[in-house]
Amino acid sequence: MFKQKLTFISVVAVLAVLAVFGLAMMGSVVSVKPKDVPVALVMLDQGSDLPGGAKLEAGKQLQEQLTGNSKLPFKWTVVESEQEARAGIDDRKYYGALILPADMSSDVASLAGPSPMPPNVRILASEGANAQAASAVKQGLNQVLLMASQSIAQTTLQQLSAKSGQLPAVTAKALLSPITVQEETLHAVSANNAGGNAPGLLTQIMWMGSLVTAAALFFAGRAAVKSGSGRLAVMLSQPVVGAVIVGIASAFLVWMASAWYGMELNGATEVWLFLWLAGMAFYAIQSTLLNWIGMPAMAILVLLMFFSMPVLNMAPEFLAEASRDWIYSWTPLRFAAVGLREVMYFGGLDAAGANIAVLWSIGGAFLLLLVLAGLRRGGSQATRQAAVKTA
């Protein structure tokens, strides 16, 4: 065995396979680190006049600390109102928002008085946009606000100790939580949605269903050509038959996810229609490559799926630059997964208009190439045989 070349070739082949699939499955996710996660900042604080003519601007000070801290993984956008922040979250501009109330300074100043009133700061997080990013927004902002609370408590204690050695019980209680934080989840994912990863899972399954359809119709088309059918006619019939099969498959997938696994789907009909469109775009890509390249195209399609899988459920701000630029930016599975996320969590097909247009464009372009595959050799098998005999 050790004298056979195939033994050593197998070692190289195994290492190559491990390297390729390791790059596909681990390269995009093992070094995940959020960077420039877009978050809106609403600074409504009006400030508060203090005895002696000084003015406290706690909200402005906190804003400067947040926007000037380069260690935070956030890209801040200061907006003028809570409505503007919510609209940006609805439009997928931001993963969340931090709202500093109008009476923040006056509430902070009250901590040193007889009737302390801790300021109430609110955090908005869009779970539907990306559960991982929403969690990072909540954790990061809570940590920042905790440090701000500690700073406020320390400053207030110093002021009180300078005035009197005694600390009223009500003040001591307020200083335990000098800033109260209220969290609100927007575009919450439904029950049994794999923690918000359901769009990516459904996209992967739809890709596999479309691939099986494309392979089966590819072999059926070859058999039809051999039996005398015109190649162009076969190429024209493949998308029609494929559309029917993919439509049935996408409907079955929606039913299976709901009935078998209890996945709660708001607007199941719209989810089915979008999956049908995505499946047809996938089928067009797969069928075109199979008809132009043949069975070697299967290796390309399988590798495309494996390279795309790790990035489907991740926010692009969490990916390494290479993964974001060389995989996430162009893979067709990404447009399907993001579009499906918009359909499921942001209001249906109307919210996914941009990704629907991309999928239509991809599907149309590859269907045109599929038709051209029927013209590249011209005529049916029987016609070519007759021409040979005549010659």
**Taking the mean position of all CA atoms in its chain, how far away is CA 189?**
13
> What is the predicted pLDDT for the residue at 29?
67
What is the pLDDT at residue 126? 97
**Hey, which bits of the chain come out as E strands?**
37-43, 48-49, 55-56, 74-79, 96-100, 120-126, 180-186
How is the chain split into domains, by residue range?
A: 37-186, 194-386
In a 10 Å sphere around its CB, with 0-12 CB exposed, 13-18 middle and 19+ buried, how is residue 376 labelled?
Answer: exposed
Instruction: Write out pLDDT tens, residues 205-253.
Output: 999 999 999 999 999 999 999 999 888 898 999 999 999 999 999 999 9
Helix axes 231-259, 353-375, angle to 10 degrees: 150
**Phi and psi for 190 in degrees, rounded to 5?**
-80, 180
Whether the Cβ atoms of residue 199 and residue 337 lie closer than 8 Å to each other:
yes
Does 200 have pLDDT greater than 90? Answer: yes
pLDDT score recorded for residue 5: 75
Retrieve residue 391's tokens. Answer: 């010659």
Beta bridge partners of 78: 41
* Residues, the chain: 391
380: confidence class by pLDDT, cuts 50, 70, 90: very low
Nearest to 316 by CA among 120, 34, 48, 73: 34
Q: What is the DSSP letter of 320?
A: -
| pLDDT above 90 as % of the chain | 64
User: What global pTM score does this model have?
Assistant: 0.87
Topology (CATH) of 37-186: abc type-2 transporter like fold (3.40.1710)
